[in-house]
């Protein structure tokens, strides 16, 4: 099944049902017609099956509609992460070589610089007043286009989308995915999140990320409503949830945290929201408990996966066993294996840690990176995708993700997983957020180091750090070698655009020390 046909058939079933809300309201009949026009516009600009169309767009109706329109052509939608810098985006544009790019006002300055530096010379469509030379106005061009069905037979092996990984460990890598991959992933999300026909979800996660696309496409599958939020802001999110009676939320844990801790009246959220799902990072047991207390959700799942293989595993009751990643997804299979394994992928026994590897026979799984045989050689071994994540299976058969292979702290010959320590520290009343890393240490090799964001910004950071350190020594349920030897109070934990903690920035010293409001003295390192 291809996604363009999925949209058209949903429009035939529910022509007057609301497809998009928030920024712009469109019924399914209107959305199907609009995507036909966008597809025919692309064809008139010389775009053919197998080509790429680049999107320098923030979350919007235009982005969602353009992505869906390209599915009707067998063209690879290529949404760029507009939070990346110019060098990375120049690489992405050069690497993907799109025939056309679409640019909005949010990304206009960035796109203009990238287009000037990259050798690629695509046609440019602009949404709003972007003032890019020789560009065509997107809305005027769409309205002038033919409304008829493009008439191109798109099959399951045609390309659908290329997502670029965030590039936290090097150049961003293109992840090409087929119609089969994307349709299977969207159906899997519907099943695993237990969506019903007519569900209403908040489209807050960026659509250059797999979570954002899954929120959109799962609604197309069930004839639901996608409530567009261009940029996630917790107070605005609560307003949209109440106004549109949103029933399902799929967010990263940091977004859930901001809604609970300052986004607005949780009673307003609880009036309609019944289903919760999170992905992108672990959720602390404390935040799980808060969400259950405030919302009493009927469904609360932890989704563990990636751009390469949408679903690795699902914990279908995240509150019952906080931190567990659960069992393989509906179309998936994984094993915890020896990280050095090549041909042999025998599972390790329960309790023993190893690397999480995922079977690439899943319909959700990609077949390799875009023009990156070096990355394929590192991650793909004899039909298995090696995630780079460390995990273990408990006696119940549930998967626990302990961290990245590269994040492991080795202190005095002992292995320490940052997530385990973070889950304990975040329960302290002085700590709003925490990230744990290993910093070089002459005695220990690496010293377990806690970077914390305080709950209050009007208190001396040195006092807060000392109080946390005393609690770690005397009360925190941590083995001695897991206790942080240093506590550093900072302004904010560095994160990727989708909320993943960037530990490498902490190790590199790329952060701002906290200061007391109105004071000038920096936070000391408590040793």
pLDDT digits (tens, 9 = 90+) for 84-99: 889 899 999 999 999 9
Q: Return the pLDDT at 420.
A: 81
Average pLDDT over residues 490-506: 82
Q: Return the pLDDT at 500.
A: 74
* Residue ending a domain, choose from 181, 207, 239: 181
Q: Return the pLDDT at 344.
A: 78
For residue 525, give every residue at least 6 positions away whose Cβ sits within 8 Å of its Cβ, in sequence order, or none: 486, 487, 488
Average pLDDT over residues 355-375: 96
CATH value at residue 51:
3.40.50.12780
Q: Return the pLDDT at 444.
A: 81
Question: Could you tell me what percent of the chain has a pLDDT over 70?
Answer: 96
Average pLDDT over residues 427-432: 90
- The answer, yes or no, to whether residue 159 has pLDDT greater than 60, is yes
Domain-embedded: residue 315 = no
Question: Whole-angstrom Cα distance, residue 20 to residue 31?
Answer: 8
Domain-embedded: residue 123 = yes
Helix (H) and strand (E) counts in the chain: 16, 26
- The answer, yes or no, to whether residue 72 has pLDDT greater than 70, is yes
The count of C-alpha atoms lying within 13 angstroms of the C-alpha of 418, restricted to the half-sphere facing its C-beta, is 27
Q: Return the pLDDT at 498.
A: 65
3-state DSSP assignment of residue 293:
helix
More confident residue, 500 or 231: 231
3-state DSSP assignment of residue 201:
strand
Whole-Å CA distances, 362 to 101, 327, 328, 382, 401:
31, 15, 11, 14, 21
* Residue ending a domain, choose from 148, 181, 214: 181
Q: Return the pLDDT at 283.
A: 86
Q: Return the pLDDT at 416.
A: 84
Average pLDDT over residues 254-273: 88
Backbone dihedral angles phi then psi of residue 240, each to the nearest 5 degrees? -65, -40
Confidence tier at 501 by pLDDT (50, 70, 90): confident
DSSP track, 31-79: HHHHHHHHHHHHHHTT--TT-EEEEE--SSHHHHHHHHHHHTTT-EEEE
Angle between helices 61-71 and 210-222 (to 10 degrees): 70
Average pLDDT over residues 11-30: 97
Q: In this structure, are strands 100-104 and 380-381 parallel, antiparallel, or unpaired?
A: unpaired
* Residue ending a domain, choose from 181, 202, 236: 181
Domain-embedded: residue 260 = no
Most confident listed range (165-174, 255-264, 288-297, 499-508): 288-297
pLDDT mean across residues, the chain: 92
Domain-embedded: residue 458 = yes
Give the chain's domain count.
Answer: 2
Region of 149 please: left (phi>0), alpha (psi -120 to 50) or beta: beta
Question: Whole-angstrom Cα distance, residue 256 to residue 133?
Answer: 41
Domain-embedded: residue 146 = yes
CATH value at residue 444:
3.30.300.30
Most confident listed range (34-48, 380-394, 506-520): 34-48
Domain-embedded: residue 513 = no
- The answer, yes or no, to whether residue 520 has pLDDT greater than 60, is no
For residue 378, give the H/E element and its range.
helix 373-379
Domain-embedded: residue 34 = yes
Could you tell me which of 169, 171, 233 has the C-alpha nearest to residue 500?
Answer: 169
Domain-embedded: residue 85 = yes
Q: Return the pLDDT at 166.
A: 66
Q: Return the pLDDT at 525.
A: 41
Which range marks the domain in which residue 473 is found?
A: 408-507
């Amino acid at each position: 099944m291809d996604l363009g046909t999925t949209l058209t058939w949903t429009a035939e079933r529910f022509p007057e049902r609301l497809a998009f809300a928030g920024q712009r309201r469109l019924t399914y009949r209107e959305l199907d017609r609009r995507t036909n026009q966008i597809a025919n516009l692309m064809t008139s600009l010389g775009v053919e099956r197998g080509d790429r169309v680049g999107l320098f767009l923030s979350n919007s109706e235009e982005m969602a509609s353009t992505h869906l329109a390209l599915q009707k052509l067998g063209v690879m939608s290529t949404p760029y992460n507009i939070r990346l810098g110019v060098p990375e985006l120049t690489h992405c544009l050069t690497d993907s070589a799109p025939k056309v790019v679409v640019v909005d006002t949010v990304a206009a300055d960035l796109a203009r610089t990238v287009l000037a530096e990259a050798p690629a010379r695509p046609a440019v469509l602009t949404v709003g007043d972007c003032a890019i030379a020789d560009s065509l106005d997107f809305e005027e061009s769409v309205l002038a286009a033919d409304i008829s069905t493009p008439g191109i037979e798109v099959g399951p092996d045609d390309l659908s989308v290329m997502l670029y990984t965030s590039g936290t460990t090097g150049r961003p890598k293109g992840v090409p995915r087929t119609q089969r991959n994307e349709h299977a992933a969207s159906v899997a999300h519907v099943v695993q999140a237990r969506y019903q026909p007519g569900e209403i979800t908040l489209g807050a996660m960026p659509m250059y990320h797999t979570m954002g696309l899954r929120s959109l496409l799962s609604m197309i599958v069930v004839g639901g409503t996608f409530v567009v939020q261009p940029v996630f802001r917790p107070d605005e999110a609560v307003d949209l949830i109440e106004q549109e009676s949103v029933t399902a939320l799929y967010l990263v844990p940091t977004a859930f945290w901001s809604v609970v801790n300052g986004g607005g009246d949780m009673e307003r959220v609880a009036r309609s929201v019944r289903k919760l799902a999170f992905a992108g990072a672990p959720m602390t047991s404390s935040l799980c408990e808060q969400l259950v207390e405030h919302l009493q959700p009927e469904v609360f799942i932890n989704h563990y996966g990636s751009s390469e293989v949408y679903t690795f595993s699902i914990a279908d009751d995240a509150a019952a066993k906080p931190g567990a990643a659960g069992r393989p997804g509906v179309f998936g299979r994984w094993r915890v294996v020896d990280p050095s394994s090549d041909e042999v992928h025998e599972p390790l026994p329960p309790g023993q840690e190893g690397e999480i590897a995922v079977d690439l026979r899943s319909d959700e799984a990609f077949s390799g990176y875009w023009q990156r045989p070096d990355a394929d050689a590192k991650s793909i071994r004899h039909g298995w995708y090696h995630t780079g994540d460390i995990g273990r299976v408990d006696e119940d058969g549930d998967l626990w993700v302990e961290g990245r292979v590269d994040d492991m702290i080795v202190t005095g010959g002992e292995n320490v997983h940052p997530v385990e320590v973070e889950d304990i520290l975040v329960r302290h009343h002085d700590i709003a957020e925490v990230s744990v890393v290993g910093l070089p240490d002459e005695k220990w090799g690496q010293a377990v180091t806690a970077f914390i964001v305080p709950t209050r910004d009007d208190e001396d950071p040195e006092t807060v750090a000392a109080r946390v350190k005393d609690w770690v020594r005397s009360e925190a349920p941590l083995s001695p070698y897991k206790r942080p030897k240093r506590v550093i109070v900072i302004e904010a934990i560095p994160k990727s655009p989708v909320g993943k903690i960037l530990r490498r920035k902490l190790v590199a010293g790329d952060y701002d020390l906290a200061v007391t409001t109105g004071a000038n003295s920096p936070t000391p390192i408590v040793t």
